[in-house]
Chains A and B, each alone.
Chain A
Amino acid sequence: MKSLKRIAVVLLVLCCMTSLFAQGAAEAKTSGPRIVTFWSLFTGGDGEFFDAIINEFNKTHTDIQLKNDTVKFDDYYTKLTAALAAGNAPDMIVCHQGNLLNYVSSGQLLALDEYLKANNFPVNDFVAAPLDACRFDGKQYAIPLDVHPIIMYVNTDLLAQAGIKDIPQTMDDLIAAGMKVAEKTGKMGIDIDNTTAVYKAYTLTRLFFSFIYQQGGTFLTADNKAANFNNEYGYKALQALQDMVQKYKTTPAGLDYDTAMNEFKLGDAAFYFNGVWATGTLEQQAGLNFVAIPIPGFMGKPAAWSGSHTLAIPAKANIDPEHVKDILTAIEFITGHGEMWAKAGHVPTRISVQNSKAFADLPYRKGYADSAASAVAPPTTAAWDEIYGTCSDLLEYAVVNGQQVQEALDLMEKTVNKIIASY
C-alpha cells in the first residue's frame, strides 16, 4: 500500500511538472507573431481563392498570423454552433448573412461599433446594403465580405450553333431558345438542377424565390410570420420551373447539382443557373466560351436570390481590445483584397475594390456586378434554414413528378407555416 502511495505521489508531481512546462511553452509563444484563428466554409470551388488571400496576409504581416480551418459547408454551422455553446469558438468566423440572426439573438457575436470607431475601420468604403444587412437593433455585428446572387451562365458557342443571336429576356424566349438548342445541337437547353444528391435542389428554391420577387411578390409576409407565395406569383413561378422539365423537356429530371455544373462545364448545356461562385470554376475550363449575366427579368423586373458571406467575431468574456484590433486588421485586409476574392466569382463589397482596375480587368465579373443592385436577401428569421431545406424537397418533388402546381403550393404553404410556428 505504501509503495502504491509513493507511485501516486510521483505521478502527481510529474503531472504538475508537465503542465508547468506546457504553461511555459504557451507563454513563450506570445513573443512570436500574434495568432488569429478562424473558421471558413469555402469548399465549393472558391476555397483556393480564399486561401490565396490568407497566404497573402500572412506573407505581408509579421506581427499577426492567420490560422484558417476550412469546414465543409454542410457541417459548418453544426460545428460552429457546438463550438459557440462550448465556448471554444475561434477568434473570427465566416457566417452567411442569413445565419447571423440566430447567433446575434443569443448573444454569441461581438457588437463591433466601438471597436470599428476606435480603430478607424473604413466603414464608409462599404456598399451600404450588405453592410446594413449585418446590423441588428442598430448595432453592427458583422462585416460583409461579398454578395453572391444567383445568375445566368450562357454558353455562347451553343447559342451560335443554334442560330440564336440575342440572349432571351422573357420566359417564352428562354424556353424557345432552350428548345432550339436541344433541337439543333442535341445538348441540354436549360440547365437547372432539380434532384438531391450531395446537395439539395437549392437552385430550384433560389429560382422560385427570384421569380416571385421579379413579379413584385415576396416569399414570406412582411413580418416573416407566414408564407406569402400561394398566389398567382407563386403559381406562375412554379409552373415555369415545372414546364421546363415536364412540358418542354428543356431540362431532364433527376439532374443533381454536381451533374448540372459538369454538364455546363463540359459544354453540354446552353443556359445554366447557379450562384456567382461557379464563375471561378467554369472559367478554368479550357474551350468553354460563356457569358455570365444577371438573371433577366423573365417574369417582370430583374430580381435574384442572393446570399452574403460576412466576417464576425464571437463574443467572449473579457475580450482584449488589442486582440479585436488584430482581428479587425485581418477583416480590413480580407475585404480590401476583394479583387482576389472576386476571382472565385463573388461580388466584392468594398467600393474602392469595385472601382479598382484589378477588378475591372477580371472577365465576366463586371457583367454581373450590377446584379447586386437587384439582389434579394432571404428573409431574416430563425426558421429560414428549415424553410429553405424543406421547400427544396417539396419543389424537387413537384418539378420532377409533375405534381399539380396548386396542390404543390398548398402543401408548401401549409408546411412553411407549420415550420414558422414551431420556432
Chain B
Amino acid sequence: MIPGNKDNRDGWLFSIPFLLVFVLFMLFPLVYGLVISFFRWNILSDKVFIGFQNYVNLFADEKFYTSLWHTVEFVLITTPVLLVLGFLMALVTTSKSPLRKVAENVFFIPYIFSMTVVSTLWAWLFQKQYGLLNKVAGLFGIQPIGWLTDPNWAMWSVCIATFWWTAGFNMILMSAGIKQISSEIYESAKIDGANYPQCVFRITIPLLKPTIVLCLILQIIASFNVFGQVYVMTGGGPFGKTRTIIQYIYETGFSYFKMGYSAAMSYILFLIIMIVSVIQYISLGRKSDE
C-alpha cells in the first residue's frame, strides 16, 4: 500500500478478477466437498443426509487402509530418492563441467512431458512380452519380468518412471539454490585446503537447507497425490497392489458415483497431508533457525 493512502478500494478492484476465480473454482468446491461428505449422493439423485456415516464407514473400510498404505509406500520410496537425485543433478549442472548445459536439458526435458505421455511410454518399455526392457534383458538370458504385472515389481516400476519424470524439477530448485551460494565461500575454503566432498558436505548442503526443506515439503505433497502414473501404467493392479488413495477416491466418486464417500476420503487425505506438512514445517523450520 502506498504510505498515507487510506483509500484501498482500487486494491479490492484489482483483486476482484482473481478473487472471483479463486472463490468460484477453489473455495466453493472445497466447502461444497465438505458438505457432500455428510450425504449419500450419486450426482443424479437427491442428496440424503447421513451425518458422519461416510466417515464411520471409511474407518472400517479395509480398501481405504490398503490404498492409503500404497500411497505412503510411494511417498517413502520416491521422496528420498527424488531429493538425492535432484541434488546430484543440481551438482552436475552447477559444476564447471563442459557438459553441464547438455546435462541440464537432458535432466529437465522429461518434466515437461505430460503425465499421460510419460506413463504410456514407460508402460510400453515395461511391457512383459514386447517391451524394450525385457527385450534387452533377454539378450543377456534373463527371463521376462512382469514389471507392471508382478506384485513385487509393479510399485517399483511406477516409481522408476516417476524418478525419470520429475527429478528434473527438484534439480531446477536446488541448482537455483546452489547458484545463490556466494563463490567466495568456496574460494576461501579451497585456499584453506578443503577438497570437493568437504565443500559439498560442509558448505553446499548446510547453506542449501532452506531449499532442501522446500523441496521436501513440495515433494511429499506431490507424492501423496500420486494417481495418474499408476492409473495409466498399472490400473492399480495387479489385484489392487498399486491402487493409491487418490485412485480409490476417483473410483468411488467417478466410477461408482458414491460422491459423499469419495468426498469424505478426500477430506481425510487432506487432513493427513496437512498434519505431515505442519510437522515438517515446525520441526525443520526450527532447526534452520538455530
Contacts and interface: CB of A to CB of B under 8 A. Distances in A.
Interface of A: 77-78, 81-82, 84-85, 102-103, 105-106, 108, 195-201, 254-256, 259, 262-263, 382, 385-386, 389, 393-394, 396-397, 400, 422
B64 interface: no
Interface stretch (B42-50, B86-94, B183-191, B265-273): B42-50
B42 to A, nearest CB: 7
- In this complex, which of A103, A262, A386 has the most chain B Cβ atoms within 10 angstroms of its Cβ? A386
B239 A81 contact: no
* A-B residue pairs, 5 tightest by C-beta: A196-B237, A106-B44, A397-B239, A254-B146, A254-B149
B70 interface: no
Given A254-B149, A259-B128, A386-B256, A108 B251 contact: no
A171 B240 CA distance: 29
A102 B239 contact: no
Contact of A200 (B57, B123, B237, B257): B237
Interface residues of B, number: 28
Q: Give the dominant DSSP class at B's interface.
A: loop
A103 B130 CA distance: 41
B234 interface: yes
Contacts of A400: 238-239
- For A106, A196, A255, the residue with the greatest tally of chain B CB atoms inside 10 Å of its CB is A196
A249 B130 CA distance: 22
Contacts, number: 81
Contacts of B127: 259
B210 interface: no
Contacts of B150: 254
Nearest to B57: A422
A223 B127 CA distance: 43
A262 B234 CA distance: 18
Contacts of A105: 45
Nearest to B252: A386
B165 to A, nearest CB: 20
Contacts of A263: 129
B255 interface: yes
Interface SS majority for chain A:
helix
Nearest to B232: A198
B239 A394 contact: yes
Contacts of A393: 237, 239-240
Given A385-B256, A400-B239, A256 B149 contact: yes
A196 B236 contact: yes
A329 to B, nearest CB: 28
Interface string B116-132: 00000001000111100
Given A102-B257, A254-B146, A396 B43 contact: no
Contact of A196 (B130, B235, B261): B235
B148 interface: yes
B235 A84 contact: no
Contacts of B59: none
A198 B238 contact: no
Given A197-B149, A397-B238, 6 more contacts: A85-B43, A196-B149, A196-B239, A385-B255, A397-B239, A397-B240
Given A85-B44, A102-B44, A389 B235 contact: no
A396 B239 contact: yes
A108 B43 CA distance: 11
Given A196-B238, A386-B256, A394-B239, A81 B44 contact: yes
A308 to B, nearest CB: 20
A106 B42 contact: yes
Contacts of B254: 78, 81
Contacts of B128: 254, 259
A77 to B, nearest CB: 7
Contacts of B45: 105-106
A393 B128 CA distance: 20
B234 A197 contact: yes
Contact of A82 (B43, B146, B148, B240): B43
A108 B256 CA distance: 17
A350 to B, nearest CB: 31
B251 A389 contact: yes
A84 B44 CA distance: 8
A359 B237 CA distance: 39
Nearest to A106: B44
A389 B235 CA distance: 12
B237 A396 contact: yes
B48 to A, nearest CB: 12
A218 B235 CA distance: 29
A271 B270 CA distance: 49
Nearest to B129: A259
A422 B256 CA distance: 11
Nearest to A398: B239
Contacts of B256: 385-386, 389
Contacts of A199: 235
A331 B46 CA distance: 31
Interface string B207-246: 0000000000000000000000000001111111000000
Nearest to B43: A85
Contacts of B43: 81-82, 85
A195 B57 contact: no
B122 to A, nearest CB: 13
A199 B234 CA distance: 9
Contacts of A84: 44
Give the one of B150, B234, B254, B256 with max A CB within 10 A. Answer: B256
A262 B130 CA distance: 10
Contacts of A422: 57, 258, 261
Interface string B133-151: 0000000000000101110
A263 B57 CA distance: 43
